[in-house]
Amino acid sequence: MLYKIYMFSFIKKIARKLIRKSTYIHHESLNKVSLVILILIDIFVLFNVFSGLNNISQWIFNPSEEIPCFSTIENYYTATNKESFALKAATIENLINHNNFSHFNNQNKLGKVSKLCDNYLRLEKEINTPDNIEIKADIEQIRTEISNLNQEIQTLQSQYDSTLLEKIAGQTPQNSINQTTADQIKSEIDTKTNQISNKKQQILQKQTRLIQVPAADAYLKLLNNTSEYKQIKKAYQSAQFWYPNKQLLLQTLFLLPLIIGAYFWHKNATIKNQGLQALLSWHLLLIFCIPLLIKVFEFIQFGNLIRIAIESIVTLLGGLLFVSNYVLILIIPLLGFGLIKFLQRFVFNQRIQAKKRIEKIRCINCNSQLRLNDRFCHYCGFNQYTNCPNCNQKTYKLTNFCRVCGHQLEQN
């Protein structure tokens, strides 16, 4: 219970310091207009940081770009009947004008197409001849015509049904809403149905020509190579595994220069007592750290390496799935505790800050320049000294030892 109270008070103290550090210059609060401008700058920078993270994460080849032949092979192998004419024809048709490979090598991206797809690339280029492209265009045109005929048949069928109902009801042809008789409509439906049948036969003939092309035949035989399929599938799964890890690495490399630059700018501005620059650099430091924390927590929640580790633990414990929840519940607070300790040790450590300011004869509280042996700061009024409990001589606040007798001072 005491630990929880301590943690709550510490977090509250950190939040208060963050707010004060983010809204004050030389211990004076920003006016509302300046605060609004600062918030707008923060939003603009944060938006561009996330935009940059998105752009750099797309700089590397994703699994489909690295193994572009996998989707075609996977669709072929997962089909119910791999030997059917319809599947073979559809596979070859999808390759024509698909440009599955050609545009990837021209992009300024990190990575390259796997050599496992070289044979598929070569055969696809051989399949994409002007004659085959024209055949596919004819097939698509015929399919459009069939679709239009089917719509016409649906319209005629509704007219035919209404005409039959009128005939059953004994309505005379002169009072009918349709201009033609049921027999005439039936004849038109039959004619269009025959046209559809003929057009489907034309499609079959053209598809037969496509799959009889030597390159197409070689491509279909290559698809039936089980050992090559296993290699490609393994490579694709490996690419899927490493892709989010590579993304996190690139995003971290994108953010690190910004974080380091903002940190040293803030440090330098604080040392030189440049209030506005210190405030702006502090805001930038926070803005650059927030996306990094979000990406790290996303990686912990959804990353492959973490998932593999959790799955291994679950397997060792007999397949109890709820154990993964315990692991995540344990990991996140530990990381949060580590982050808090890091902030307490390096970012908000008043003793480290006080040591540097004492060495440069500056106010421990506001960093203003003092004269030697000044007891109070003439800018903020802060008392620089406290009495040593051992020798009762004055010594600097927030230091570890008395400057007179060397007695170790209280840490709190």
Residue-wise pLDDT tens digits, 40-67: 888 898 889 988 998 888 888 888 888 9
Closest C-alpha to 101, from 123, 77, 131, 75: 123
Instruction: Name the percent of the chain lying above pLDDT 70.
Output: 76
Mean pLDDT of the residues in the chain: 80
Residue-wise pLDDT tens digits, 372-391: 888 898 888 889 998 998 99
Cβ contact 266:287 at 8 Å: no
Question: Which range among 56-65, 101-110, 157-166, 247-256 shows the weakest confidence by mean pLDDT?
Answer: 101-110
* pLDDT, position 103: 45
- Which own/partner pairs from 57-61 qualify as long-range (CB within 8 Å, at least 24 positions apart)? 57/247, 57/250, 57/251, 58/109, 59/109, 59/110, 59/250, 60/109, 60/110, 60/111, 60/243, 60/246, 60/247, 60/250, 61/104, 61/109, 61/110, 61/111, 61/112, 61/113, 61/239
The pLDDT-based confidence of 357 (bands split at 50, 70, 90) is confident
Residue-wise pLDDT tens digits, 221-278: 888 888 888 999 999 988 888 888 888 889 999 999 999 998 898 888 877 777 778 8
* pLDDT, position 101: 45
- Predicted confidence (pLDDT) at residue 211 exceeds the cutoff of 80: yes
* pLDDT, position 10: 62
Q: Is residue 317 helix, strand or coil? A: coil
- Predicted confidence (pLDDT) at residue 364 exceeds the cutoff of 50: yes
The two tokens of residue 319 are 């397949």
Residue-wise pLDDT tens digits, 289-300: 888 888 887 776
The two tokens of residue 314 are 């679950």
- Predicted confidence (pLDDT) at residue 170 exceeds the cutoff of 80: no
What phi-psi label fits residue 176: left (phi over 0), alpha (psi between -120 and 50 degrees) or beta? beta
Beta bridge partners of 395: 386
* pLDDT, position 73: 87
Closest C-alpha to 263, from 294, 284, 240: 284
Determine the Cα–Cα distance for residues 181 and 171; give it in Å rounded to an integer. Answer: 12
* pLDDT, position 302: 62
pTM of this prediction exceeds 0.85: no
* pLDDT, position 254: 92
Determine the Cα–Cα distance for residues 224 and 209; give it in Å rounded to an integer. Answer: 20
* pLDDT, position 205: 93
Residue-wise pLDDT tens digits, 301-347: 666 656 666 666 656 655 555 655 666 666 666 666 666 666 666 65
* pLDDT, position 321: 56
* pLDDT, position 106: 47
